[in-house]
């Protein structure tokens, strides 16, 4: 993965050296050439190529955090998730509000008359 980035960096460096040593070239032109042809593309390519590794690291960190919380007993049920049937009965788990995923209310089909412009 890094061999392409190293080769690209070398080519951009040689382009910048050629720009700086040319009789009509300047050091400012060499710096702009190196940044625009070298550093920015290399940085972008390495960032894109490292995306799967970052995702795996985030998932692993989340899984370890969840396991740690479960081990410590910090994952408690929210207040709405339990209801007590009797004073001495064990709590019973209930579904959270709006667990169906449907909209709370919607218009009934055909309940609104269409409005037409008068000709």
Number of H helices, E strands in the chain: 4, 2
Q: How does DSSP assign 6-44, residue by residue?
A: HHHHHHHHHHHHHHHHSTT--HHHHHHHHIIIIIHHHHH
The tens digit of pLDDT for each residue in 53-109 reads 999 999 999 999 888 887 776 555 555 555 555 555 555 556 566 666 666 666 566
The tens digit of pLDDT for each residue in 1-35 reads 689 889 999 999 999 999 999 989 899 999 999 99
Spatial contact of 40 and 33, defined as CB atoms under 8 Å apart: no
Spatial contact of 33 and 9, defined as CB atoms under 8 Å apart: no
């Amino acid at each position: 993965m890094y061999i392409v980035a190293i080769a690209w960096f070398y080519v951009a460096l040689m382009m910048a050296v050629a720009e700086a040593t040319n009789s009509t070239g300047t050091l400012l032109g060499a710096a702009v050439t190196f940044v625009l042809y070298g550093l920015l593309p290399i940085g972008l390519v390495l960032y894109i190529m490292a995306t799967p590794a970052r995702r795996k690291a985030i998932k692993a960190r989340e899984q370890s955090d969840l396991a740690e919380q479960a081990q410590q007993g910090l994952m408690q049920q929210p207040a709405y998730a339990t209801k007590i049937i009797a004073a001495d009965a064990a709590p019973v788990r209930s579904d959270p509000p709006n667990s169906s995923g449907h909209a709370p209310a919607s218009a009934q089909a055909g309940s609104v008359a269409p409005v037409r412009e008068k000709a």
